[in-house]
Amino acid sequence: MEWPGKREFANTPLTDWFIRGSEQPAGKTRAFGNLTFATIYGAGHFVPHDQPAESLEMVKTWLANNPL
């Protein structure tokens, strides 16, 4: 995707993100500017079915405009 932050986004390392009360990471995330990429471990393309707690936390965090 072409955009002014492409290089910085690509150079930002992936980091673990966690849901409340868990010591195990829920997945990996990377963000720069207004673009965020996130994965959820153990989820396929039916994320809410495969990992409901993690997907709900991701959506709630996004709606609150908070970083993962």
> What per-residue confidence (pLDDT) applies to 47?
94
**Average pLDDT per block of 10 residues along the chain, 68 residues long:** 91 95 94 92 93 94 90
Least Cα distance to 25 among 38, 10, 9 occurs for 38
Other beta carbons within 10 angstroms of residue 53's beta carbon come to 14
Strands (E), the chain: 15-17, 27-32, 35-38
pTM for this entry: 0.83
> What per-residue confidence (pLDDT) applies to 6?
93
> What per-residue confidence (pLDDT) applies to 18?
94
Q: Which long-range contacts (CB under 8 A, 24 or more apart) does 40-48 make?
A: none
